A and B are shown apart, each in its own frame.
Chain A
Amino acid sequence: AQTVTQSQPEMSVQEAETVTLSCTYDTSESDYYLFWYKQPPSRQMILVIRQEAYKQQNATENRFSVNFQKAAKSFSLKISDSQLGDAAMYFCAYKDQGAQKLVFGQGTRLTINP
């Protein structure tokens, strides 16, 4: 069974600085998708960024980018120019191509210090 591990329960960063959240996963599949979701105190799950495993190019969305290392099964999220509104729980998630289920990590709580 696939598993997703986020080894950093909590992270903090100064406003305007850059922070990287780590995620590793375990799978025997070659075709899959990886996601980062943001969950603010409202508990809403917000999709931040998506990466297809067949793409070598790392996904980017404005201040958010990923470092996808397929051989190492690593998928980290970099947030540049951190803003107070970035404070939230961040979840890494995995999905097989053709499967219905998302597998989530335990989450990383990100605090932004003004």
Chain B
Amino acid sequence: NAGVTQTPKFQVLKTGQSMTLQCAQDMNHNSMYWYRQDPGMGLRLIYYSASEGTTDKGEVPNGYNVSRLNKREFSLRLESAAPSQTSVYFCAINRDNSGNTIYFGEGSWLTVV
């Protein structure tokens, strides 16, 4: 899992419910990311955090919030889940010193009914 742990791995939500996806790294990397993958597509960046305490929007941030309270953890929150947010969510880190190789966690499968 490249040192990236995501929880939960599977979740079913009802429309309008909220939940938080958790991501933790076991090394001291600055950059962390949240991507989503919809069926038949590549991954798209939701939010990223270049360092502890900073976050920035990616391609598809609407409907999500993130939090980077410490260097190890980067969480993704859905405040009011919608069926369009049914997807597989991946947390990722930049793992080499150049900052240009991204490794992914195992993914979290989220279904919103």
Residues of A within 8 A of B (CB): 4, 33, 35, 37, 42-47, 50, 52, 91, 93, 95, 97, 100-102, 104-107
In the complex formed, the residue of A with least CB distance to B99 is: A98
Instruction: Identify which of A43, A93, A105 contacts B107 (C-beta below 8 A).
Output: A43
B101 CB, nearest partner CB in chain A, Å:
6
Compute how far the CA of A37 lies from the CA of B56 in the bound complex, rounded to whole angstroms: 24
Tell yes or no: B50 within 8 A of A by CB.
Answer: yes
Compute how far the CA of A33 lies from the CA of B1 in the bound complex, rounded to whole angstroms: 22
A105 lies within 8 A of B42 (CB): yes
Instruction: Identify which of A44, A47, A93, A106 contacts B41 (C-beta below 8 A).
Output: A106
A47 lies within 8 A of B103 (CB): yes
Tell yes or no: B110 within 8 A of A by CB.
Answer: no
Residues of B within 8 A of A (CB): 1-2, 31, 33, 35, 37, 40-45, 48, 50, 56, 58-59, 88, 90, 92, 100-104, 106-107, 109
- Whether A101 touches B48, Cβ cut-off 8 Å, given contacts A45-B43, A50-B101, A106-B42, is yes
A102 lies within 8 A of B41 (CB): no
Q: Which residues of A contact B2 (CB under 8 A)?
A: 47
B33 lies within 8 A of A100 (CB): yes
- Whether A45 touches B101, Cβ cut-off 8 Å, given contacts A101-B59, A106-B42, is no
Q: Which residues of A contact B104 (CB under 8 A)?
A: 37, 44-46
A94 CB, nearest partner CB in chain B, Å:
11
A65 CB, nearest partner CB in chain B, Å:
18
Compute how far the CA of A101 lies from the CA of B56 in the bound complex, rounded to whole angstroms: 11
In the complex formed, the residue of A with least CB distance to B37 is: A43
Q: Which residues of B contact A97 (CB under 8 A)?
A: 100
A-B contact pairs, 29 of them (CB 8 A): A33-B100, A33-B101, A37-B104, A43-B106, A43-B107, A44-B1, A44-B107, A45-B43, A46-B104, A47-B2, A47-B101, A50-B100, A50-B101, A91-B43, A93-B42, A95-B100, A97-B100, A100-B33, A100-B45, A100-B50, A100-B56, A100-B58, A101-B45, A101-B58, A101-B59, A102-B102, A104-B43, A105-B42, A106-B41
